[in-house]
Amino acid sequence: MKKIIYIFAIFALLAVTGFIFFKSFRGITPRATVANNSELYEKQNFNHADMIQLPSPDTKGKMSLEEALTLRRSIRSYTSEELTLKELSQLLWSAQGVTNERGFRTAPSAGATFPLEMFVVANNVEQLKQGIYHYNPFENTLEVKHLKDVSSDLMRASLSQSMLAEGAAVLVFGAVFERTTDRYGERGERYVYNEIGHASQNVHLQAAALNLGTVVIGAYRDDEVENILELDSEIRVLYMMPVGRPR
Ligand SMILES: Cc1cc2nc3c(=O)[nH]c(=O)nc-3n(C[C@H](O)[C@H](O)[C@H](O)COP(=O)(O)O)c2cc1C
């Protein structure tokens, strides 16, 4: 009997130590590395055969940050020219690109919980069929979700804002709130909204530096947009940014 109690006590001790160890590292471990690469991706049934490797993003540009800040403006009218894959890669990287070996990103994230998932609606992008794609920041790839033209549906769901159909691409900012609220409770919601602001401003400045036009779109019917894009039920769309060459 004594032996059983000893064994039980050792197991309990190991379990408690493991739990404390896990908890203490949660604040610095990019949980999204786990969530993104396995849990979420598996849940969404991405067809890994349909992956597009994006060109490597540049980490040096032609325009200074100060110039980009001065030039940044909401631009709502675009030419019909296509967006290059390199430009799209650069924009996605500016939003959520991985910039160190721990999986940390171009935008800050509360407790490194990384709630954001980027999607692209490709309307007129070099080498991409019209459709909806998911950005994998770890692999720098796009995963094909659905190959279909959603441009006019998206425009209608966004109070007929024509930029959604005219943009060569629309960057969609999705968020899995639970990744952050699991850690921070209700306050985590605020953090997710904060984070969307960081990531979208990065895209705004990156677009300015590439002489591209964009605008943040907050006015749309949430459920309708999420249905059109056929996103997983845990993903909320918090912003959309159409991108094109300024007319
Ligand atoms: C939260 C938020 C939501 C917005 N939603 C829209 C929108 O749905 N459609 C739009 O055309 N502009 C939208 N904008 C862009 C603003 O209209 C724009 O930033 C403002 O007119 C200032 O112009 P600027 O961005 O050129 O400085 C939004 C901006 C913010 C911050």
Provide the domain limits for residue 91.
Answer: 30-244
Please identify, by atom number, the ligand 1 atom nearest to the C-alpha of residue 73: 26
User: Does 12 map to a domain?
Assistant: no
User: Does 48 map to a domain?
Assistant: yes
User: Does 11 map to a domain?
Assistant: no
User: Does 14 map to a domain?
Assistant: no
Residue 50: pLDDT band by 50, 70, 90 thresholds? confident
Closest CA to 211 of 93, 52, 54, 84: 84
Taking the C-alpha atoms of residue 184 and residue 173, their distance in angstroms, rounded to an integer, is 21
Q: Whose CA is nearest to atom 27 of ligand 1?
A: 73
Q: Which of 43-57, 101-115, 188-202 has the lowest mean pLDDT?
A: 43-57
Taking the C-alpha atoms of residue 23 and residue 230, their distance in angstroms, rounded to an integer, is 34
Q: For position 35, which CATH number holds?
A: 3.40.109.10
Taking the C-alpha atoms of residue 214 and residue 31, their distance in angstroms, rounded to an integer, is 31
Q: How many other C-beta atoms can be found within 10 angstroms of the C-beta atom of residue 5? A: 9
Task: Please give the average per-residue pLDDT across 27-44, as a whole number.
Answer: 44
Task: Please give the average per-residue pLDDT across 164-180, as a whole number.
Answer: 98
User: Does 168 map to a domain?
Assistant: yes
Domain count, the chain: 1
User: Does 201 map to a domain?
Assistant: yes
Average pLDDT, the chain: 89
Give the side-chain half-sphere CA count within 13 A for 47.
8
User: Does 190 map to a domain?
Assistant: yes
User: Does 57 map to a domain?
Assistant: yes
Q: Whose CA is nearest to atom 23 of ligand 1?
A: 74
Share of the chain above pLDDT 70, in %: 81
pLDDT of residue 221: 98
Q: Is the CB of 155 under 6 A from ligand 1?
A: no
Structure tokens at 106: 């171009």
